[in-house]
Structure 1
Amino acid sequence: MPDARFLVVFDADSTLLRNEVIELIADEAGRGPEVAAATEAAMRGEVDFATSLRSRVRALEGVPVAAFERVRARVEPTPGAAELIDAIHDRGGVATVVSGGFHEVLDVVAPPLGVDIWRANRLAVASEALSGEVGGDIVDAAGKAAALLEWAEAYGVPLRRTIAIGDGANDLQMMAVAGLGLAFNAKPAVRAQADLVVGRVDLREVIPLLP
């Protein structure tokens, strides 16, 4: 990978994207409100993220793989997402995403936004439907921080020139290791611990903060 001037790491759900994707998938199983409540508790830091994710994914068992077309059609980028990523690239930076959500959606929505590299969880499939299990290692708070460190090294970016942007408790570790941790559309616990809080839910607000 060529060296970059700086690195920006986004959370996906409720940060780069307006939606919580797991809730859209849960709607396909008729369990949207139940999963939404569990997601909210996890984002507030009230429960362990990995334990919560496994529980929420179990609620998705039986959702057909074909339903992902409907889910992806409902996903909306956060206002200003494309403009911010364009600005990152114009200034010689790299735009990355690490998500507790799912590759099945990010693999489709990230490229049109210009995201350079992304990492997320995978949903296990059996007989063309979700099995209710997470495939492989879970991307949790520690996994997000590890991704930031890995990508900073790969792109030759010192940590002081890294920015982490997130909304939930599972973003706090990556925000802590970044040179600048930004709370965006964030829960109170995240606002309290961030270096800066972005008030408006418009990612263009971040452009003046780029190196």
Structure 2
Amino acid sequence: MPQPRFLVVLDADSTLLRNEVIELIADEAGRGAEVAAATEAAMRGEVDFATSLRTRVAALEGVPLEAFERVRARVEPTPGAAEFLAGVHARGGVAGVVSGGFHEVLDHVAPPLGVDRWRANRLQVADGRLTGVVDGPIVDAATKAATLEEWSAQLGVPPTRTIAVGDGANDLVMMRAAGLGVAFNAKPTVRAQANIVVGPVDLRQLLPLLP
């Protein structure tokens, strides 16, 4: 692989994807509205992300693994996602995703879109059903920033040539660590702190920002 010119790291839910995947899983437990309200509060920065995620994942207890086929069928990429990622590659960049969501979904949807690398949470399973517990360390705001820095070091891309794109409060640390922090489809607190705010929910709007 030739030396990448730059690195773009995106959030998944409500950024690369139109959905909040945890809400789709919660629908399978009949608790979609409850989890949606908790997700909104977390994205606005009103509650600690890791604490909120543990509470929301607890609401998923008992969801069978076969439900993930229905969940994945409902996941929609954000308009322009594939074109944006193709543009990253055409300009010699690498596209990564780091998400407070879940590998159980991202592992299926990221490759067809052209994502080069990704990191997310995993859900603990016992007897073919979710236990309501996150399996392993939680991907939180600090993890997102550390992942951007880790990937840029691995790829030999200077921090000044990294771009972080996100919508929620848990993306802010990553956006500050990047050379350029882009608020996309973002909550007010994120728009207020980003280097650039992109309003239209179409990832092709980001193409002019690529180096």
| TM-score bucket (shorter structure) | over 0.9
AA at the equivalent of 1:68: F
Contact 1:2 1:155 in 2 (8 A): no
Structure 2 equivalent of residue 68 of structure 1: 68
1:96 equivalent in alignment to 2:91: no
Q: Secondary structure of 2:76's partner?
A: coil
Structure 2 equivalent of residue 170 of structure 1: 170
- Partner Cα separation in structure 2 for residue 209 and residue 140 of structure 1: 26
Structure 2 equivalent of residue 106 of structure 1: 106
1:194 equivalent in alignment to 2:194: yes
Give the 5 Å matches for 1:20-169: 20-169=20-169
Q: Secondary structure of 2:61's partner?
A: coil
Instruction: Identify unmatched segments of 5+ residues in structure 2.
Output: none
- Partner Cα separation in structure 1 for residue 124 and residue 50 of structure 2: 15
How far did residue 198 of structure 1 move?
0.2
- Partner Cα separation in structure 2 for residue 58 and residue 83 of structure 1: 36
- Partner Cα separation in structure 1 for residue 18 and residue 153 of structure 2: 29
Q: Secondary structure of 1:200's partner?
A: coil
Structure 2 equivalent of residue 210 of structure 1: 210
Identity of aligned residues (%): 78
TM-score (norm 2): 0.99
How far did residue 3 of structure 1 move?
2.5
- Partner Cα separation in structure 1 for residue 2 and residue 158 of structure 2: 14
**Residue by residue, what CA displacement relative to the aligned partner does 1:161-211 show, whole Å, maximum 9, x if unpaired?**
000000000000000010000000000000000000001000000000100
Q: CA RMSD, aligned part only? A: 0.6
Q: Secondary structure of 1:65's partner?
A: coil
Instruction: Identify unmatched segments of 5+ residues in structure 1.
Output: none
How far did residue 2 of structure 1 move?
4.8
- Partner Cα separation in structure 1 for residue 136 and residue 39 of structure 2: 20
Q: Secondary structure of 2:47's partner?
A: coil
- Partner Cα separation in structure 1 for residue 122 and residue 172 of structure 2: 22
TM-score (norm 1): 0.99
AA at the equivalent of 2:85: I
**Residue by residue, what CA displacement relative to the aligned partner does 1:55-93 show, whole Å, maximum 9, x if unpaired?**
000000000000000000000000000000000000000
